[in-house]
Structure 1
Amino acid sequence: MILTVTPNPALDLTYRVPALEPGETHRAAPPAVRAGGKGLNVARVVAQTGSAAFALATAGGPSGLRFADDLEASQLPAELIPVASPTRSSVAIVDEAAGETTVINETGGPLTAAEWMALRDAARRLAVPATALVGSGSLPPDAPDDFYAVLVATAAERGIPSLIDAVGPALLLAVEAGADVVKPNRRELAETTGEDDPVEGARRLLDRGARLVLVSLGADGLLAVPRTGAPLHARLPEPLTGNATGAGDAAVAAVATLLAAGNDDPGALLRRATAWSAAAVLAPLAGDLHPSYRELEARLVTG
């Protein structure tokens, strides 16, 4: 069972418009609404592809009740830690003409010390039967920077691999704690390390303790930089258009399924992550994969 931990989940609202014109008024059908956040998206993809997943997250306020209702309806195994701050919203606007998606993410509200402790305790308890531990997503305001580092330490105590998708000090501390794999995107990597070159930025994370760095490059695919050996790159022959909101989360899910099965080969991780990321772009909502994800892996260009 792959355990995903999401300290700052969101109620995802996805609108679709024929064409997005800044400064203009748009009419749209009611949005698709689902319990989201990076770890929830990861767990959904893991479950969709036939592996066991369990999602740990927080929920609070009226939006948290709606979040909990959707999660229950999805039948995704999960546990929610009650918190006082309302669950935030994330709004995605899909421009169907351009094939592009604009996302507006609320920051979320702070958690109390007792709520952080409850979340940590639940992660330790649920890690006992887990085969891999994923920590992903933004942290709410005033969060402890070492939250993901604590998850990495928990995974190490259990003897299971850890995968972290974060940015800034939270990512650096997780790396220093010995995260097995980290997956920032190009912008997050530059923000965290100060390096615009993704290979150099990845090597900075390796020097601080990461075992493998995967970097999302958008339409250019993914980059894998291992501790030993040359960097690896994978992409499709041509870029895809669609809703890229959950593409990075699908890549994390791909890596988690292989790590949970005992496969830590950088090339295998990179290929599956790139294919599943592309399949997520073709799906209508974050947390879903287009059924062609296996075919897409066969079409990859690697080097």
Structure 2
Amino acid sequence: MIVTVTLNPALDITYTVPELRTGTTHRPQVIAQAGGKGVNVARTLHALGRETVAVLPLGGFDGEAVRAELETAGVPHLAIPISGATRRTVTVVETESPHGLATGFNEAGPELTAEEWAEIRAAVASLLETATLDTASVLVLSGKLPRGLADDAYTGLITLAAGLGVPTILDTEGAALLAGLAAHPAIVKPNAHELLDATGLDDPARAAAELLKLGAGAVVSSDGPAGLTALTPDGAWTARPPRIDGGNPTGAGDATVAALAVGLADGTPWPETLADAAALSAATVLTDRAGVFDADAYRRFRSAIVARPRDAHPHDAHPHDTRPHDAHPQSPRPRS
């Protein structure tokens, strides 16, 4: 089972227009669905036929809308009731833009109380204890932390999972990303901007190596059309997606995380995992919403994409790692 945690979920509303023009009235096509990065990951995993459950706190009118949409879509989930109101995010996609422009408006979301946070932790622990009966268990932690939680909130969940023998993928940014490294997540997945912002460095390759030094088992960074790069103690690889004109890039990173979770659960070698992630991400760009991918395009892209080695020496950047190494992202049970 792959458990995803979304601590600041949203009711995602996508407006599709030919072109966004300020100061005028638009009549968009509208899609509303449950959102948040971990929810998108779970939706993608469900579409892939993987056993998954999304854990998320929900409250207020929009929280009920999120719950109802997940039930309608058949995405397994565990909702934790909270007193605050679930936020909304609005994305405006321009269909006539040659570069697939998407403009986002993301509300801050509610503040979690100490009691609500304790209930979320207990729910995750219960699910992971059940998941340890499954040899393909992974915990996915995605998105920014909500108000009310300390920067090390994810760190505690990673430690909790490690104690049960479950590896974690961490997809967040800033202080929460840096704090989470202390618990040694199996994979972290920042984009190029988040890499530089977290480390203060001006070179993505050096920044990824720094995150490896600080405790990440592997670093997978995304850079839009330039593709994905995985830096691990065993080597580095890059996979480039096909060129796509237009489309909706919202949720492409979450599709990447879904593919990484599958590779981590199955013990798939890194080149195959990275190529799969690039293909699934590109197939998601072709759709009109996050968490949904074009299945035919996914198969075409996967047969065409090859992950290639990069000239890197990650062992020099990971001196504290004395574990035996193999060609896999990491086995379903962590080795540290």
Does the pair score TM above 0.5?
yes
Alignment of 1:115-130 (within 5 A): 115-130=116-131
Alignment of 1:79-98 (within 5 A): 79-98=78-97
Corresponding residue for 2:139? 133
Contact 1:220 1:239 survives alignment (8 Å): no
- Range that drifts further, 267-276 or 113-122: 267-276
Corresponding residue for 2:8? 8
- 2:20 and 2:229 map into 1 onto residues whose CA distance is 31
Corresponding residue for 1:277? 281
- Range that drifts further, 210-219 or 25-34: 25-34
Q: Does 1:296 align with 2:297?
A: no
Alignment of 1:100-111 (within 5 A): 100-111=101-112
Contact 1:168 1:188 survives alignment (8 Å): yes
Contact 1:108 1:140 survives alignment (8 Å): yes
Runs in 1 of length 4+ with deviation above 4 angstroms? none
Corresponding residue for 1:33? 32
Q: Matched residue of 2:129: which SS?
A: coil
TM-score (structure 2 length as normaliser): 0.86
2:214 partner letter: R
Alignment of 1:1-303 (within 5 A): 1-21=1-21, 23-29=22-28, 31-98=30-97, 99-130=100-131, 131-229=137-235, 231-263=236-268, 265-291=269-295, 292-300=297-305, 302-303=307-308
Contact 1:219 1:240 survives alignment (8 Å): no
Once the two structures are TM-superposed, the CA of residue 185 in structure 1 deviates from its matched residue by: 0.8
Once the two structures are TM-superposed, the CA of residue 240 in structure 1 deviates from its matched residue by: 4.2
Contact 1:240 1:278 survives alignment (8 Å): no
Once the two structures are TM-superposed, the CA of residue 67 in structure 1 deviates from its matched residue by: 1.2
Contact 1:216 1:222 survives alignment (8 Å): yes
- 1:107 and 1:248 map into 2 onto residues whose CA distance is 20
Deviations 1:217-268 (A, max 9, x none): 0111111111232x321113424421111000000000101111233x3222
1:270 partner letter: L
Q: Matched residue of 1:244: which SS?
A: coil
Sort the Cα spacing of 1:12 and 1:177 in 2 relative to 1 into closer, same or farther, 3 A.
Answer: same
Q: Matched residue of 1:122: which SS?
A: helix
- Count of aligned residue pairs for this structure pair: 300
Once the two structures are TM-superposed, the CA of residue 62 in structure 1 deviates from its matched residue by: 1.2
Unpaired runs of 5+ in structure 1? Answer: none
1:124 partner letter: A
Deviations 1:114-141 (A, max 9, x none): 0111111111111123311100011112
- 1:237 and 1:41 map into 2 onto residues whose CA distance is 22
Once the two structures are TM-superposed, the CA of residue 203 in structure 1 deviates from its matched residue by: 0.7
Contact 1:94 1:100 survives alignment (8 Å): yes
Q: Matched residue of 1:129: which SS?
A: helix
**What is the percentage of aligned positions where both structures have the same residue?**
42
TM-score (structure 1 length as normaliser): 0.95
Once the two structures are TM-superposed, the CA of residue 271 in structure 1 deviates from its matched residue by: 1.0
Contact 2:43 2:292 survives alignment (8 Å): yes
Once the two structures are TM-superposed, the CA of residue 26 in structure 1 deviates from its matched residue by: 3.4
Once the two structures are TM-superposed, the CA of residue 191 in structure 1 deviates from its matched residue by: 1.3
Structure (1 or 2) with the larger CA radius of gyration: 2
- 2:242 and 2:284 map into 1 onto residues whose CA distance is 17
Sort the Cα spacing of 1:65 and 1:134 in 2 relative to 1 into closer, same or farther, 3 A.
Answer: same
2:167 partner letter: P
